[in-house]
Amino acid sequence: MNMGRIKQLSKAAILALEQTAEALHTEVIQAQTMPFKTGNLQNESTFIDYHNAKDGNVILVTNTPYARRLYYHPEYQYHKDENPNAGGEWYKDYLEKGGKADFAKEIFKRLYKQEGDV
């Protein structure tokens, strides 16, 4: 077994996972679907937790007291001045049955091939 190559591919998988999370965060911001009043929710308070990347797990965190309320209540009247597509459930399109469900999978695949030199 080529342990050096296995190690290289493992590192590539971790890096591709981290970059995929960053791409998803960027995609959501560019889609202008997060509620935006001051910009705090999407800019300063949304970040990626990489602590468990080695275990194949990264988390896109929105850390404000009101994020949960805004996310799970699409019936609210959202400000649409800055983000015209703002509303609740802004990650829903990227989940299993959403219109962009393959986004993360395809990004990861491309980045893994690139980083792993496959």
pTM of structure: 0.91
Q: What percent of the chain has pLDDT over 90?
A: 92
pLDDT of 72: 95
Determine the structural domain holding residue 93 and report its residue range.
Answer: 3-116
Distance separating alpha carbons of residues 118 and 116, to the nearest angstrom? 5
Cα–Cα dist 76/108, whole Å? 33
pLDDT at 96: 93
CA atoms within 13 A on the CB side of 99: 1
What's the pLDDT score for residue 115? 95
pLDDT of residue 74: 87
- Residues of the chain with pLDDT below 50 are none
Q: Distance between CA 36 and CA 19 in Å, rounded?
A: 24
Q: What is the pLDDT of residue 19?
A: 98
* Tokens read off for 112: 């893994």
Domain count across the chain = 1
Instruction: Work out the widest C-alpha separation in the chain, in whole angstroms.
Output: 58
